[in-house]
Chains A and B, each alone.
Chain A
Amino acid sequence: MINAIAPALPLHTAGKYVAAAYIVLLLLVVVYAAALAVRVAGMQRDIAALADAEAAAEEEQ
């Protein structure tokens, strides 16, 4: 049944589908890395703000 519905595709036809599927995997990793980078950058900003507040408090004392 599958044979009738889906005969073997030649490389030039199947290639784009295979490439698209592997690009999905690549995108998964890249998007995750980008999201991670955004979160780490946010944390770095928070740490800098905390350090500034700490320094200001020490100066006041």
Chain B
Amino acid sequence: MIHQSRSSSRGLWIQTVATVALLGVSLALVFFYAPLEAEQGFLQKIFYVHVPLAIVSLGAFVVGGLFAIQQLRTRSAEWDMRSCAVIDLGLAFAVAALICGSIWAKGSWGHWWVWNEPTLVSFLIIILLYAVYRPLRRSVEDPERQARFASVFAIVGAVFVPLNFIAVRASSAYLHPRVLGASSQLPGEMALTFLVSLAAMTLLFCTLYRFEIGVRRARASLRALRRRASRREQAAAAIAPAAPEASA
């Protein structure tokens, strides 16, 4: 057990170093390798942080739904914890993507927000949807029911995310450039830089997820220890007054 924990923390250390290295490589590619875009110039460099953040966050919501299916199948608290951790981190990444996108919109369109842009509004709807996830969990006290409700929510959300993506892509009026698919016109250097940035962001997410899971497991163990200690105290308190009677 101790050996397993040591090898796991060593693996996490290696993963953290790899994440920092890959983020460094992706930043070097963004600023020293990828050419300036003809229309937006230097401002387009935001693309390499904004789009990977958005893709990773949407992917996280789908993964959270898959973990939730596992939770409903097995009734295991572990899968609930995983689903919750992925969704929490996904929401943080989504908010960061939204802020980056807003900064890009200000530089590019002159407005922080454009309400008639379907991609922006649909992304905001997804964020608002998942913003409800935590309050929903807290509103249910019983841990089993809480896990079940949260899982159903996560599955419905995970189905909504790709449907929303397809609906927005099918929409005709948009300002947002298409990055993925046949309509993408990224030249080779930009495509390579984008893929490395996406890999770096995915690795960053996975590393933060492992830290998050580690802390949540430790907290759960601590809670169990505290419960055991308080039960022992109660048992000791129950025995203590009985002792003089027994001796009498």
Give A residues with C-beta under 8 Å from B: 1-3, 5-11, 13-15, 17-18, 20-22, 24-25, 27-29, 32, 36, 39-40, 43, 46-47, 50, 53-54, 57
**A contact patch SS:** helix
Which 4 interchain pairs have the tightest Cβ spacing?
A8-B41, A17-B107, A14-B43, A14-B42
Contact present for A6 and B42 (CB under 8 Å): no
B104 at the interface (CB under 8 A from A): yes
B39 CB contact (under 8 Å) in A2, A14, A20: A2
A25 CB contact (under 8 Å) in B100, B109, B212: B100
- Give the contacts of B79-121 with A (CB-CB under 8 A): 92-93, 96, 99-100, 103-104, 106-110
Contact present for B109 and A17 (CB under 8 Å): no
Number of interface residues of B (CB under 8 A): 42
Write the chain A residue with the least CB distance to B98.
Answer: A24
Chain A contacts for B175, CB-based, 8 A = 1-2, 5
**B contact patch SS:** helix
A8 CB contact (under 8 Å) in B39, B99, B106, B215: B39
What is the CB-to-nearest-CB distance from B140 to chain A, in angstroms, rounded to a whole number? Answer: 22
B204 at the interface (CB under 8 A from A): yes
Contact present for B42 and A47 (CB under 8 Å): no
Write the chain B residue with the least CB distance to A42.
Answer: B219
Q: How far is the CA of A50 from the CA of B226 in the complex (A)?
A: 7
5 A-B residue pairs with CB within 8 Å: A5-B109, A9-B41, A22-B27, A24-B100, A25-B100
Q: How far is the CA of A50 from the CA of B75 in the complex (A)?
A: 30
Chain A contacts for B107, CB-based, 8 A = 6, 9, 13-14, 17
Contact present for B109 and A6 (CB under 8 Å): yes
Chain B contacts for A5, CB-based, 8 A = 108-110, 175
What is the CB-to-nearest-CB distance from A1 to chain B, in angstroms, rounded to a whole number? Answer: 7
The digit string for B218-248, where 1 denotes a CB below 8 A from any CB of A, is 1100100110010011001000000000000
B50 at the interface (CB under 8 A from A): yes
Contact present for B229 and A32 (CB under 8 Å): no
Contact present for B99 and A24 (CB under 8 Å): yes
Q: How far is the CA of A50 from the CA of B223 in the complex (A)?
A: 11
A28/B92 contact (C-beta < 8 A), A17-B46, A17-B104 known: yes
Write the chain B residue with the least CB distance to A25.
Answer: B49
What is the CB-to-nearest-CB distance from B79 to chain A, in angstroms, rounded to a whole number? Answer: 21
